[in-house]
Chain A
Amino acid sequence: MADLNINVGKLKLKNPVMTASGTFGYGHEYSDFMDISRIGGIIVKGTTLRDRQGNQYPRMAETPSGMLNAVGLQNKGVEYFVKNIYPTLTDINTNFIVNVSGSTIEDYVETAKMLNDLDHIPGIELNISCPNVKEGGMAFGTSCLSAAQVVKAVRMAYKNDLMVKLSPNVTDISEIALAVEAEGADSVSLINTVLGMAINAERRKPILSTITGGLSGPAVKPIALRMVWQVAKVVKIPVIGLGGIMNATDAIEFLLAGASAIQIGTANFIDPTVCDKIIDGIDEYLDRHNYKSVSQLIGALEI
């Protein structure tokens, strides 16, 4: 049995397997299926300063080897999280990371501040793929300047681990990664969903209420793998890889490409025990290849 422990920024993970925001609820939803404390880290769903009802429905369209979603950050707000959800998480022995989303820099900062002093929340994941409503609705994460601005402001307000989740809907993701690293991000996670669209030809209508939505699942895996590889080459902070990971082999590919940890997202919808299987699968791979520690796999791609 190899050593699966890995440090990612300020986080100490018992293994490199985390769950992606919006795909694992607050963890409890999966307790009937597996021991969720086995997971290295659980990133709870996108949390905003105020309660959000999310988008109108339909919010989902199935695609070949994937799905489009347009949930629109439905959540009850950070105050509700702190008062009602947080107390239910404190006795579960894993890292709970809160995914923080916002429409303005001030929103992000206020939300992060409210999470600063929670003993059992060792970090946040900053979702910078949200539209910046004060600057015409362009996503924060699609320009180096606005990505840097939001990370800088949150860094000043938040003392624990700051993971920044990058959008793939950009020309050069390495530039954005470098920009957020320069402002004090402890790690970057990538990729968020790829902007896509689905049409019902018979009805001549878009399937999603928002017309476009975010594509996830195995369909995006090659894009994610390529971006993780590109970013890991240029940044010094750890990279957390995600995008279409369905099994241990997929997870290992991301580690080889340079990720220090990985997140499982859409796969949880198909197999609620998939995290368990991926942890076991990584362990088995390490033994089979005579690795003593999972850290030896990071960036071990032979070119």
Chain B
Amino acid sequence: MLDLVVKSNVALNNQYSLLILTSHSKLPEMLPGQFVEVRVDNSPNTFLRRPISINYVDYKLNELWLLIQIVGEGTRKMCELKTGDNINLLVPLGNSFSLPNLKTSKLLLIGGGVGIAPLLFMGSYLKEMGFSCNFLLGGRSEENLLQLSDFEKFGTVYTTTEDGTHGERGYVTQHSVLSSSNFDLIYTCGPTPMMKAVASYAYKNNIECEVSLENTMACGIGTCLCCVTDSINGHVCVCTEGPVFNIKKLKWQI
């Protein structure tokens, strides 16, 4: 459990904020795919912590980034935090994305909406480890595409929007890069229908695929058994066995 300090909290638009946290001491080591559980103070209706993906970690600047989408009172309170405020986290939690076997692997990171959050950290990590990445990011409209300039630092960025305001029109699974390139490994995070469509594409094309699942959670450390998902090993906790799963482990009808 860590008390961190808000370094900055910038609204990216009326739905999303980028919360940058820092600490007086050195941040713990974190891996892409892991998440934090945020305690939301001064919010009577927010009883439980909120699980939030780690968006990016800058060890040099001692910064932990969280990308927050306002979905209810808890996330709204997080977006109202001011520079200098304290915030209590359980960090880091969960497993992480796995690294590719070969340096020459062709990697595609597919994100939708706020689900892009862990992919930025994964992209930076992959680049540091000497891999090259492609990002395919989708949103309903241009305003739902976030942090594009950050993603561009770590690889090639492709985009889709449903209304055609940015990149190709349509869903991520309709993007032309999927037919023009042969990818070896896909990492994906986003709305469940999108991840299922991506998983289905990967499965049919025999591409390794890892998905990062979201769920409502209480403890975040595997004791309450509230956040389970169906796997080939039965009900498993998304918080400890995940949030990252190889699609072969899940019982998705794809």
* A9 interface contact, C-beta 8 A: no
Q: Is B225 within 8 A of A269, CB to CB? A: no
Closest chain A residue to B39 by CB distance?
Answer: A270
Interface residues of B in 191-233 (CB under 8 A from A): 215-229
Q: How many A residues touch the partner, as a band? A: 20 to 34
Q: How far is the CB of A205 from chain B (nearest CB, A)?
A: 15
A62-B216, A268-B219, A269-B218 given; A54·B44 CB < 8 A: no
Q: Is B218 within 8 A of A67, CB to CB? A: yes
Interface residues of B in 149-171 (CB under 8 A from A): none
How far, in whole Å, are A249 and B194 apart by their CA atoms in the complex? 48
How far, in whole Å, are A64 and B90 apart by their CA atoms in the complex? 22
- What residues of A have a CB within 8 angstroms of the CB of B223 in the complex? 22-25, 29-30, 45, 268-269
With A69-B226, A74-B235 given, name 8 new contacts (CB 8 A).
A24-B223, A29-B222, A57-B215, A59-B228, A64-B47, A71-B226, A269-B219, A270-B47
A33-B1, A53-B235, A58-B216 given; A65·B47 CB < 8 A: yes
Q: Is A60 within 8 A of B44, CB to CB? A: no
Q: Is A74 within 8 A of B228, CB to CB? A: yes
* Chain A-chain B contacts (Cβ-Cβ < 8 Å), number: 86
- What residues of B have a CB within 8 angstroms of the CB of A59 in the complex? 225-228
How far, in whole Å, are A174 and B217 apart by their CA atoms in the complex? 35
Judged by DSSP, the binding face of B is loop
How far, in whole Å, are A266 and B234 apart by their CA atoms in the complex? 25
* A66 interface contact, C-beta 8 A: yes
Q: Is A64 within 8 A of B45, CB to CB? A: yes
Closest chain A residue to B88 by CB distance?
Answer: A271
Closest chain A residue to B226 by CB distance?
Answer: A60
The contact string, 1 if C-beta is below 8 Å from chain A, for chain B 92-111, is 00000000000000000000
Q: Is B227 within 8 A of A270, CB to CB? A: no
* B48 interface contact, C-beta 8 A: yes
Closest chain B residue to A27 by CB distance?
Answer: B223
Q: Is A54 within 8 A of B235, CB to CB? A: yes
Closest chain A residue to B221 by CB distance?
Answer: A29
Q: Can you show 24 pairs from A to B with CB atoms below 8 A apart?
A: A22-B225, A30-B221, A30-B223, A45-B225, A54-B225, A54-B235, A57-B228, A57-B235, A59-B227, A60-B218, A62-B46, A62-B47, A64-B45, A66-B47, A67-B48, A71-B224, A217-B47, A268-B219, A268-B223, A269-B49, A269-B220, A272-B1, A272-B90, A272-B219
